[in-house]
Amino acid sequence: MTAKKLGLKQRYAHMTRGLDWETSYQPMDKVFPYDTFEGIKIKDWSAWEDPFRLTMDAYWKFQAEKERKLYAVIDAFAQNNGQTGVTDGRYANVLKLFLTGISPEEYQAHRGFAYAGRHLRGVGPRVAAQMQSLDELRHIQTQIHTISHYNKYFDGLAEFPHMHDRVWYLSVPKSFFDDARSAGPFEFMIAIGFAFEYVLTNLLFVPFMSGAAYNGDMSTVTFGFSAQSDESRHMTLGIEVIKFLLEQHPDNLPIVQKWVDKWFWRGHRVLGLVAMMMDYMLPKPVMSWKEAWEIYFTEAGGALFQDLARYGLRPPKYADIATAEAEHISHQNWAIFYQYTHAAAFHTWLPDAKHMDWLSEKYPNTFDKYYRPRFEMWGQMAKEGKRFYNMALPQLCQTCQIPMGYTEPGDPTTICFRKTQFRGETYHFCSDGCKDIFEAEPEKFAQAWLPVHQIFQGNCGGATIPDVLNYYRMNVGADNMDYVGSPDEKLWNEWQADKIRTAV
Amino acid sequence: MTVQIKTLDMEPKRQTFGHVARRLGGDKPATRYQEATLDVQATANFHYKPQWEPEYWVYDTRKTAVVMADWYKPLDPRQYYYATYNIARANMNQAVERAFAFAEERGLIEKISAEARKQIEFGLLPLRHLHWGANMNMTEITQRGYGTAVTAPCIFSAGDHLGMAQVVSRIGLLLDGQTGVSLDMAKEVWMDDPAWQGVRKLIEDTFVERDFFQLFVAQTLAINGVVFDLIYKFADAGWKDAQIAVAMLTEFMSDWRADESKWSDSVIKTVAAESAENKALVSQWASDWIARAVEAARPLSAALLGDNGAQAEAAREATIKRARALGLTL
């Protein structure tokens, strides 16, 4: 026998793509029915470069090792009542936002990567997508286990899947992922694999985990560290996907560009929730949203798109608008939640004087001019016993589903409204970005399950706010309203008093 | 004498999540399996119909003809969630590593006869493609199925089949001195050898099955029970003087089969027991796919064992017996 011993790369090829075959008893187009309708052209699937060469035995070994360590920490955290050692009781609200808004999307990613892992015709990307499907299941399950202990003491966590399917602001991340899941496999890979996991992950996953680190949440931050190597694999896959599509056929460029534009803007809108968390909800902030945006989008994203320019890809449309919005978005979002605190499953509060000074320092162009006066006025009103609640249901953007509270680019005192007609109906939008997305796929976005419309149509338990909160399974007076006066606060203060007593 | 460290006992407000408590019939401490599984998949208020299948929602109970009042009834008796699954597989895989190290050290494969070598190349190595096909099916049920209780173990099973395809590949590499020649040959056998074409047609037919639970039955009951068991369980005589070596190097597969069927059998049993309609449907699917699998396995059994299909028949009988024990009428 004269054949040569295999190198690592060929060995891995035998372990994965060598397994696949061209079917002949059933036509390939029937076996893979979904990978042509999007118009993406693949000349040669074998040109796919495996972004990481991980066989299952190695996967089990590494992941099992990581899980053993993670669960040891989770157990220790619970045993030692780690929840009493975070910076402040307010911190739990970050976890509420995470578990109700983000974790269910990890699950969606798990099922979505299973779809790509079955239905992409090329075996290389299929194997990579399957591993990501497994990883994403890991993330939802470990997040539930990490936060499970907090659920035993804090409100607002207990009904996370039920709320995710129903509560008004949770339809923002839910519709984002429903959008990706109802798209074809290539769009899914660009939407989640590239735009979400590669371009925006540092603005989503990382702020939550850094927030945990800064605020003494050892349980969540250990999950973060443990998931880091998964995330870097996902990023490698995301970048490989976009390069592969662009290299395969010039006709792919306009399709991919359209998806990059769409998913950048969709992602930017979802990240507004993270912006608010970073600037307002962390008792000990890590950095401002604006700083994060500069580092992770303007700089890192800038370098990325410079690198992709050789394929003819340009930076996402409206990136400039998003960058300008980084001065405003967290303040506008927190103001929305403050007004609708009665319908939110986490607590709100007004920033104290010290925190407002921090915001002034971080947002010298906007905070004192536009947002401090509003918060101070609301503070004054609350002092006078007239805490401001907005009892009207807001109009929602048809695309991103966020209440239409954002302002015109360049004019922060005028609300931005856009509208368009489709089949004789008028649809409303918060921005040009969201309007463009609708107009590119009106049949799809006209279907949106808009929470406010649904309430008015009688599909959410009834016509009054208590009916709707009941439909949400909101534990009124515990899950919602201000942190001050909440059962969370009461319990937190008891723990603190206990610590002081013990110290004395 | 016992040592007891005193810890601070804090009275929790609740023991578990609301959806878990409702299923447990009260606020009681829940297991990690329960919290990681129950009601995790979205069930209501979906936004957009899939562009690739607008007749259904992404998560839709109508993607199978069987009807369950609650898709969280077919639970996993192994109670796997991601951590326990990976730890279980990492442990099983240690035996694989020891077996391969032993086989290499002792030159176990070099010592086998040319006849045994030929049998392995013909009868065992092409099975890696069937594992890959099974991986596609389990991934399909993961994406297409309903309810985390059923779908999460399916992605574990998909990972298992990829892993087993890789174990089979390593046997080939051991056989061909790490050149990959045996794997190329095995692929030719898979694609063209008449003895394997029934099996290849069988798995390709499952690729186009749209009913996710029918696919579950076809894969986990019929194909696992008839074809994989034929090779891993009923074909010992076929490996000639390499019987011990093959048994050692495929130990993972027998461990896996026991582990997987504990779960997949229980899922089928629970779904069939739900109603007379389900029982009739699942029985029909089982009977149909077992018959097709046996037809596919017969020429393979004949070619590998020279038994005129007797061992395929044995696998059939064992599978029918298993199906009956699950409450199916065949």
- Check B152 against A137: CB less than 8 A apart: yes
Instruction: Give contacts of A 52-71 with B, CB under 8 A.
Output: 55-57, 59-61, 63-65, 67-68, 70-71
CA–CA separation, A414 and A407 (whole Å):
5
> Measured between beta carbons, which residues in chain B are less than 8 angstroms from residue A18?
169, 180, 183, 187
What's the mean pLDDT when you consider all of chain A?
Answer: 96
Query: Is the model's pLDDT at A2 over the cut of 80?
Result: no
Q: Is A273 in the B-facing interface, judged by CB distances under 8 Å?
A: no
> Measured between beta carbons, which residues in chain A are less than 8 angstroms from residue B4?
none
> Measured between beta carbons, which residues in chain B are less than 8 angstroms from residue A143?
none
Percent of chain A with pLDDT over 70: 99
Look-up of token digits 């040959």: B185
Query: Is the model's pLDDT at B143 over the cut of 60?
Result: yes
Each domain of chain A, given as residue ranges in start order, spans 56-503
Partner residue opposite A67 with nearest CB, options B52, B87, B135: B87
Name the pLDDT band for B110 (thresholds 50, 70, 90).
Answer: confident
Q: What mean pLDDT do residues A281-289 have?
A: 97
Looking at this protein, which amino acid is placed at residue B297? A
Min CA distance, A205 vs chain B (Å)? 20
Per-residue pLDDT of A350-389, as tens digits, reads: 999 999 999 999 999 999 999 999 999 999 999 999 999 9
Token reading at B246:
């093959």
**Pick among A182, A449, A454 to test the B interface (most B CBs inside 10 A):** A182
Q: How far is CA B285 from CA B134, B206, B278, B328, in A?
A: 17, 12, 10, 10
- Check B83 against A454: CB less than 8 A apart: no
Look-up of token digits 């017996």: B321
**Pick among A5, A14, A219 to test the B interface (most B CBs inside 10 A):** A14
pLDDT for residue A282? 97
> Measured between beta carbons, which residues in chain A are less than 8 angstroms from residue B208?
26, 30-31
Return the number of other C-beta atoms located less than 10 Å from residue A262's C-beta: 24
Instruction: Give contacts of B 198-257 with A, CB under 8 A.
Output: 200-201, 204-205, 207-208
Burial of A267 (0-12, 13-18, 19+ CB in 10 A): buried
Query: Is the model's pLDDT at A200 over the cut of 90?
Result: no
Per-residue pLDDT of B71-84, as tens digits, reads: 999 999 999 999 99
Q: What are phi and psi of A421, to 5 degrees?
A: -105, 140
- Check B136 against A118: CB less than 8 A apart: yes
Partner residue opposite B17 with nearest CB, options A3, A24, A151: A151
Q: Which residues fall within 8 angstroms of residue A63, CB to CB, at 6 or more apart?
A: A138, B82, B86, B90
0.85 surpassed by complex ipTM: yes
- Check A57 against B97: CB less than 8 A apart: yes
B33-54: string of b/e by CB count within 10 Å (b at 16+)? bbbbbbbbbbeebbbbbbbbbe
Per-residue pLDDT of B180-236, as tens digits, reads: 999 999 999 999 999 999 999 999 999 999 999 999 999 999 999 999 999 999 999
Instruction: Give contacts of A 450-479 with B, CB under 8 A.
Output: 454, 473
Min CA distance, A386 vs chain B (Å)? 31
pLDDT for residue B225? 98
pLDDT for residue B7? 64
Q: Is A104 in the B-facing interface, judged by CB distances under 8 Å?
A: yes
Per-residue pLDDT of A391-434, as tens digits, reads: 999 999 999 999 999 999 999 999 999 999 999 999 999 999 99
Which ranges of A120-251 would DSSP assign to H, the alpha helix? 123-151, 160-164, 171-181, 185-188, 205-214, 218-248
Nearest-Cα residue of chain A relative to residue B44: A165
- Check B178 against A71: CB less than 8 A apart: no
CA–CA separation, B149 and B176 (whole Å):
42
In the A/B pair of chains, how many CB contacts fall below 8 A? 253
- Check B159 against A59: CB less than 8 A apart: yes
CB-side neighbour CA atoms (13 Å) of B231: 30
Look-up of token digits 């093959």: B246
Query: Is the model's pLDDT at B1 over the cut of 70?
Result: no
Nearest-Cα residue of chain B relative to residue A138: B82
Containing A267, the helix (H) or strand (E) segment is: helix A252-276
pLDDT for residue A51? 82
- Check A37 against B187: CB less than 8 A apart: no
Query: Is the model's pLDDT at A1 over the cut of 60?
Result: no
CA–CA separation, A92 and A418 (whole Å):
36
Per-residue pLDDT of A155-197, as tens digits, reads: 999 999 999 999 999 999 999 999 999 999 999 999 999 998 8
Each domain of chain B, given as residue ranges in start order, spans 82-252+262-325
> Measured between beta carbons, which residues in chain A are less than 8 angstroms from residue B132?
19-20
Min CA distance, B317 vs chain A (Å)? 27
Partner residue opposite A165 with nearest CB, options B13, B43, B139: B43
- Check B83 against A70: CB less than 8 A apart: yes
What's the mean pLDDT when you consider all of chain B?
Answer: 96
Query: Is the model's pLDDT at A504 over the cut of 80?
Result: no
Q: Is A56-503 a domain of CATH 1.10.620.20?
A: yes
> Measured between beta carbons, which residues in chain A are less than 8 angstroms from residue B9?
none
- Check A145 against B35: CB less than 8 A apart: yes
Min CA distance, B202 vs chain A (Å)? 9
Name the pLDDT band for A502 (thresholds 50, 70, 90).
Answer: confident
pLDDT for residue A354? 97
Query: Is the model's pLDDT at A256 over the cut of 60?
Result: yes
- Check A165 against B44: CB less than 8 A apart: yes
Q: Distance of alpha carbon B4 from its chain centroid, rounded?
A: 44
- Read out DSSP for A6-69? PPHHHHHHHHTGGG----SSS-HHHHSTTSSTT----S-GGGPPPS----HHHHHHHHHHHHHH
Output the CATH code of domain B82-252+262-325.
1.10.620.20
Per-residue pLDDT of B146-185, as tens digits, reads: 999 999 999 999 999 999 999 999 999 999 999 999 999 9
- Check B13 against A152: CB less than 8 A apart: yes
